[in-house]
Chains A and B, each alone.
Chain A
Amino acid sequence: MQRFVIVKKGVYLDSIRLMKATEEAKKIPKVKNAFLSLGTEANKKLMSELGFLTEEARKAGPDDLIIAIEMDEKGEGAAVIREVEALIFSSKTKGTQEYASVEDAILSLRPNLAVISLPGDQAVDVAEDMIMKGINVHLFSDHVSLKDEVRLKKLANEKNLLLLGPGAGTTIIGGKGICFANEVEKGDIGLVASAGTGLQEIISILDSLSLGVSHAFGVGGSDLSKEVGGIMTKKCIEALNSDPSTKILCIIAKQHSREVVSEIASYCSKVRKKTFACFLGVEDNLGLENSETLHACAVKIAKEKGESKQFFSFKEILSNAESLSSKLQKERIFIRGVYSGGTLAHESFLILSKLGIRAYSNTSYEKRYLLQNPLKSIGNSIIDMGDEFFTQGRAHPMIDSTLKILRMKNEIKDRRVAVLMFDVILGYGVSDDPAGEIADTIEQVNGPVLLCRLVGTKKDRQGLERQKKKLEDSGIAVCRSNAEMAVLACLIATRCRVERKVEKLWVRLFGL
């Protein structure tokens, strides 16, 4: 193994461009690892963890570009460095239609949707400007205050526009995905979600049942809070109710106020179309076929559509758990989850709780189960790496998985861990090889069982089957839904002691 670290003084490039070039550099033959960054203190700390922090790199400043490459012994360093430099300086998208001014861009296209992913404090003004100009908004940015969210949503509502977000990860309009989105078959199911990866998860499960989507709206995680009152959830339900291509409605929520959920349920009773829901954490039906997991919700929709395919039986999941836990050492008893998707993390947290396994989380709504230090797991822990704590000053883990992979490696090192659950999300907006990034770097010998929920559709550009094979070839068990992964993790960690609870809750967990 040989390492090359080169510092280019006074060469400044933005972090997204460098991250993309890093991913491309890793694909060069004989390159084992790459890290292209500016010499900020934070980046130097990461370089230190990756073994790249040479004396020269240590002296680099925030205006200096650092090129760090790890290669096979046989690779020729100079040629590879030239190739990497070419990647860095030519990474601008071919044929980009780029404008320095919003006004010029609007004149050139007359857009009907603005997608905003600026840092929160700047995003608010830009979003307001778009609404005032009569343009619908998909606001990906987080770090927007509830007060601003309420103000923007009221303004959009007055103007009969959509303000999706803040923190809206996914929207699909007529099959076209905004931000993180899967390639879907056209269908007649319309979805509204205050849960980005929840939307991707249910769309992927529906896809595996050969069911397509008309439109899917991500309204942001706080839309069903008491303060916001579901303004945009209602607006999107109204939109889908009047859309002729939508026959079935589905509403998904992660974080919500019970009062607002009841109000939405009552609002849905006026809808002319069959409506399903998955309000995570709500166990009653609310008069609209509410499910406790996304898996159960998808299966109920499939039944409504006359599709009764069963993913797996209780016996099959039990047999898998017995087989996967057979070689685990006795002291390995804890479950750890490292997620990019907040909804999936929350769903797992709830499933563990239903099965009598208490877990800590960095996003728990119950203070006593909130991890005091999100950087360090204790006991059973579920970590949402997309939480604002981790994304402040850093791209979301679905764009840059560096921190997520480091966290996974740390969890694997813990000798008390029986199972490590994680998600890999395919589709638009994420890297070309999300499974490969993990499969190529995670090593576990005599370690915990590794379970992955691969969220993706058959038409996703990365190739669902190819991605699955990469994970399986690395000894990772790939699950058919997040609910299956969480249940399997509980069975493995307890050596099937929760078998009866799983059997008793089977219909609530899996809908069949």
Chain B
Amino acid sequence: MAINIKNLPRKKFVLPGNAACPGCPESMGLRYVGMALGEKAILVIPAGCTSVIQGLAPGSGLGFPIVNVPFASSDAVAAGLAAAKEVVGEDAVIVVWAGDGGTADIGFATLSGAAERGDNVIHICADNEAYMNTGIQRSSLTPFGAWTTTTWTGKRERKKDVPLIMLMHRIPYVATASIAYPTDFIEKLRKAASIKGFKYIHLHAPCPVGWRFDPAKTVTVAKLAVQTGMWILFEAENGRIRLSPPSKPYADKSRRKSLEEYLKLQGRFKGITEEGIRALEKMVDENWETLLKLIEATS
């Protein structure tokens, strides 16, 4: 079921009065969540950029029911909420909207626990690749070579592969998405909402403030991440992995744009050396190789 942007609900879930920075990818992502799930969504949000984006109490800049929760608790709160909704028989989609810290670092044990139990929750990791809300500190999802305020000479470690880790939890649905491909993301959200159990969607969300690029170029940068193969869009239903259409061409390395094209737009990679770029490129190749092998093995 292809999604046509014209047929999506008109109701706005990201409202005037929100406190997002110019060019914020999270407010884009939240708009798509609204378009995909509409009135059914209840959001559980741990500490992070969206704690700020939603605006000041007693008002709200977002049109969803929102439970703000401590950092390491979101998937457990969502599990309880989902259990309660099952008890009362309410048709709600419980969504955790967490950043890379709330997903891959401080929130990771909670995420893994909920996934293993199969709690009826969609976890969306809005991945802006560092702790942006506290001022651009590195996370385990910051890519190799990137400057942050705790890695002044570039991060030495590679990005943790959370989607594959979640795949190995054998949950019914895992997908990656990008804010540059809204219909792909919306389709994935709707699919996830139709499946009972734990669903994981990893949304790539380039941050103009933290990545040091022009706020007008959020979508351009996000697209380049896909076109250079840095970010691969796929989905896995019951463990069967498929490349998503926007990423399909780039399984062929020769069709990928050069990594430099992606890196040069971002101030965070200003200090990366030629050697660093080659190392990053090798990581991209390895990620593709692993994924293509997994696709073959699970098809």
Do they bind each other? no
Chain B interface residues toward A at CB < 8 A: none
Chain A interface residues toward B at CB < 8 A: none
